[in-house]
Structure 1
Amino acid sequence: MDVTISYLGFVFFCVIAGLARGLEITSQSATSIEMASGQSVKLDCQFTLGPEDSGPLDIEWSLLASDNQKEDKVVILYSGDRAYEDYYPAVKGRVHFNSPDPKNGDASINLTGLKSSDTGTYQCKVKKAPGIRSRKMLLTVMVKPSKPRCYAEGPTQEGKDVVLRCISTEGTNPLQYTWEKTSDSKLLPATAVLDPVGGSMNLRNASIAFSGNYRCTAKNRVGTEECVLQLGITPPPNTAGIIAGAIIAVLLALIIIAIILFCCCRARHRKKYEKEISYEIREDVPPPKSRVSTARSFTSVGSQRSSLGSMSPSNLHEYALKPQYDKIPSVEEYDRPPSHVPPPVAAKMAGPNLSRMGGIPVMIPAQNRDGSIV
């Protein structure tokens, strides 16, 4: 009886030991991995086989769907002593078995040129009948922060609140931003208020001492990037001078406009006045009929007067019998035909009478119609 029990116990122990020596996944590496984009990662999957595992060896790596309604994607496969790497187009050419002969117990794969879309849960499944084992690993591909852009928002004047901003357009959250001053005392102003998540730094009641170089660093778990900002705080503008200058400029503009309007109005009135005068001259004063004859008459008269000074007393008697020399013919006389010209008027006083009265007899030469001396 005791011998029988001991024999049964030995058989049971051998069965348990045989099962323990079957197919097993022996990898002890972490099941959660975080990597930066562009890098490479090794997904570890080591296994051992038992004597009873005599079936064909199959190794399958798949990307599990996050939604149960979707189908898992086979990434790479080893079957019939051959590797198949073209199952999943998203990783085609970037996934390979770590060992050239995975049946030796290394089912690990290498994934190169990581992208953020490679993030997911990967499962390694090893089959060798009758044994089947699997292992899952979570891969998180994080994007390194892009080079941030640093700038000052708002006026950088003394006494104002100046806001410095630092923004990275790319990078996997959570992103953390830090500011530091790299010039002078290398200490941030006492009034500085930082926002490590938003990347801003508010400098309240800025002063000239706040001027200098500042550096912002953006980082996450896979990398860091930084930018440098040169800040210059300027004195406040002379507001009174600006207002006075603006007032003076407005007054000068109004004066110039007033002068232009005055000149325009004056020129307009002058033009209107000249136009009215020209109308009055045309209506009230008709032009003379013959200005050439009159001018010639005056010219002849002048020449005759100059010639009288050389006449002798004997000749003066003849001129006294003719019409007066200095009488300018009227318009009616110009219009009268030659047949109606009145005879010359004889002198009322003879030469002897004038001599007796103490006068000098003067002969006035006669004139024809056009004013010449007869």
Structure 2
Amino acid sequence: MRDGFYSWFCCSPGVTDSLKITPTDQPMIEKAQGEKVTLPCMFTLSQEDEGPLDIEWVLIPIDNQKNEQTIIMYTVDRVYSNYYEGMHGRMQFSNPDPKSGDASLEILNLKSTDTGTYQCKVKKAPGVQSQKIQLTVLVKPARTKCYVEGSQEIGSDLTLKCAAQEGSPLLSYSWRKLTGTGTEQLPATSLLNKNTGELSVKNASQDNSGTYSCIVSNRVGTDECFLVLNVTPPVNVGGIIAGAIIGTLLGLCLLAFLISYACKKHREKKYEKEVHHDIREDVPPPKSRTSTARSYVGSNRSSLGSMSPSNMDGYTKTPYSQVPSEDFERTPEQNPNFASPKVAAPNLSRMGAVPVMIPAQSKDGSIV
């Protein structure tokens, strides 16, 4: 209703020479993301315009399904800029006093979402005027990467590729080969696709080796990446396979040696451990023949001590074979009852001597 009212006043006879907006020479503006832009809206008033001055900026989005959005307004000598959250704190009137005839809008730190059609409306009864400006926010090419696809051997076909991770279309690509003094022409066998950034090289040679630069650009900026191409002779596949086989065999031999050595060391340590910790029960020594002789002599002494001298006839002639020979081989310290013989008992036997046991007697003649 209000727009129809304003249009009626704008188009009615006699009021068209009142309020006027100066036509802009930039109905379409392109800016890069992060920059700032000033959308012009200059107007003039006449003496016939007596009503209150109202200035309003409206964003018409690219998507037709979305409604128009008032972003800033000036009315009754006051600015209202809290209508649009997406531009809060990033927009303002370029002139602090819009009623002076300058209603231009300044937008800071542009974003790609700021793209759209902006309409400036100036109202002062009975005059009403408006003007539209198309703003396009483009993203500069950025994070461009260069790489090689294919074998870098002499005689092979390879492709140099370039791709920007960021950037608004349309993007354009170009390649150049760098030298110590500047640039030189691309290989004669190469083919460039400016839209995709692919540089195809057929039948590569060592002359194609060098440093290449890829430049990607759009209407608001450029970006660049570098690539080093090193074309080498074909690799001797047979030699590599033979070397790999020999290396594998040597590795297996070394592994087998190490395993064998480890097993040997393990057995040696196990044997030493068993010997060190093995507790064997000593075999009991044979019964001492000396103790046998002592018991024999002791028994004879006890028997003789209980007999009278008249009963000693049978014991004075004890056969030599019944007396242990160890008694004759004992030292005087071991057998004090016998004198240490100067001749061994076996020798005496061979000489025809007969051993005789003489019981010990006390001073009164009794047998001890």
TM-score, normalised with respect to structure 2? 0.63
Identity %: 49
Query: Does the 8 Å CA contact 2:30/2:138 hold for their aligned counterparts?
Result: yes
Equivalent pair of 2:116/2:136 in contact (CA under 8 Å):
yes
Instruction: Give the structure 2 partner of residue 246 of structure 1.
Output: 244
In structure 1, the residue matched to 2:44 is 48
SS for the counterpart of 2:47 is coil
Cα displacement string for residues 22-61 of structure 1 (whole angstroms, at most 9, x for unaligned residues): 2222223222111111211111112222332211010000
Q: Which amino acid aligns with 2:56?
A: E
Q: Secondary structure at the match of 2:165?
A: coil
CA contact (8 A) 1:22 1:52 kept: yes
SS class of match (1:188) = coil
- Counterpart of 2:24 (choices 24, 28, 40) is 28
- Corresponding residue for 1:305? none
Q: Does 1:79 align with 2:89?
A: no
Deviation at 1:104, TM superposition (A): 2.4
Query: Aligned match of 2:66 in 57, 70, 73?
Result: 70
Distance 1:231 1:144, change over 3 A: same
- The equivalent residue for 2:122 is 126
Structure 1 position 257, deviation (Å)? 8.5
1:92–1:244 CA distance, 2 compared to 1 (3 A): same
AA at the equivalent of 1:229: L
| Partner residue in 2 for 1:272 | none
Using the alignment, how far apart are the partners of 1:102 and 1:260 within structure 2?
A: 91
Q: Hey, what's the Cα distance between the residues in 2 that align with 1:215 and 1:53?
A: 62
The answer to whether residue 95 in structure 2 is matched with residue 99 in structure 1 is yes
Q: State the partner residue of 1:111.
A: 107
Q: Secondary structure at the match of 2:184?
A: coil
Structure 1 residues 91 and 241: CA distance shift in structure 2, 3 A: same
Q: Corresponding residue for 1:197?
A: 195
Q: 2:140 aligns with which of 136, 140, 144?
A: 144
Q: Relative to structure 2, which stretch is displaced further, 210-219 or 25-34? A: 25-34
**Does structure 2 retain, via aligned residues, the 8 Å contact 1:27–1:47?**
no
> Where do residues 168-187 of structure 1 align in structure 2 (5 Å cutoff)?
168-183=164-179, 186-187=184-185
- In the alignment, residue 190 of structure 1 is paired with which amino acid? A
Q: Which residue of 1 aligns with 2:218?
A: 220
Map 1:258-337 → 2, pairs under 5 A: none
Q: Distance in 2 between matches of 1:43 and 1:173?
A: 23
2:139 corresponds to which letter in structure 1?
V
Aligned to 2:33: 37
Q: Is the CA contact 1:21–1:49 (under 8 Å) kept in the aligned structure 2?
A: no
Q: Distance in 1 between matches of 2:255 and 2:128?
A: 99
Shift in Å, 1:153: 2.9
Deviates more, 1:49-58 or 1:207-216: 49-58
Whether contact under 8 Å (1:27, 1:44) holds in the other structure is no
- For structure 2, the 5+ residue unaligned runs are 1-11, 262-285, 287-320, 323-345, 348-368
Measure the CA separation in 2 of the matches of 1:204 and 1:161. Answer: 5
1:326 maps to none
Distance of aligned partners of 1:245 and 1:68 in 2 relative to their CA distance in 1, 3 Å threshold: closer
Q: CA RMSD for the aligned pairs?
A: 4.0
Alignment size in residue pairs: 274
Q: Displacement of 1:119 after TM fit? A: 0.8
CA distance in structure 1 between the aligned counterparts of 2:58 and 2:25, rounded to whole angstroms: 19
Provide closer, same or farther for how the CA distance between residues 254 and 70 of structure 1 changes in structure 2, counting only shifts above 3 A: closer
Runs of at least 5 residues in structure 1 that lack an aligned partner in the other structure: 1-15, 264-289, 291-337, 340-365, 368-374
CA distance in 1, matches of 2:258, 2:79: 95
**Could you say if the C-alpha distance between residues 254 and 177 of structure 1 is closer, same or farther in structure 2, counting changes exceeding 3 Å?**
same
**What CA distance in whole angstroms lies between the structure 1 residues aligned with 2:64 and 2:255?**
81
Deviations 1:39-91 (A, max 9, x none): 11111112222332211010000112444553322111110012222322222
Cα separation, partners in 2 of 1:67 and 1:119, compared to 1, 3 Å? closer
